[in-house]
Amino acid sequence: MKTVIQIEVRPTEIDVMGHVNNAKYLEYMEWSREDWYNRAGLPFDLLSEQNVGTVTVNININYRKEARLGQKLTVSTEPIRKGRTSFVLKHEIVNEREELVADAEVISCTIDLKERKAVPLPDALAQCFA
């Protein structure tokens, strides 16, 4: 399942170069990831009840085109592959002209919240990659 959110670039997200600060793209992707979890029926509370959490272990991001103040951006998230305890979500950020602004693959791992160690993906999460 691919999900999409819309955002508008705010003044607090602009750096001295007059475009979106590189760290803000990670926030945009995090917002989109949270939306993906919720729409997949995997909100934080549900996973926590199962004593499972997800942690980001790697992000490979490509900055393709600058985004500027007031631009409306579309951020998409989709599952692309899974392992036993880890999974990869792909993000793309495009501007109003459908130009690719940034893209990334985010690798996350599922952990036991008490033991803080990797555990196999819960079935509900694994099924999102079918």
Each residue of 51-88: pLDDT tens digit? 999 999 999 999 999 999 999 999 999 999 999 999 99
Supply the pTM of this predicted model. 0.94
Residue 10's SS3 state is coil
Q: CA 1, CA 52: separation in Å to the nearest integer?
A: 21
* Low-confidence residues in the chain, pLDDT < 50: none
**Residues designated catalytic:** 15
pLDDT attached to residue 98: 98
Domain 3-129 architecture: Roll (3.10)
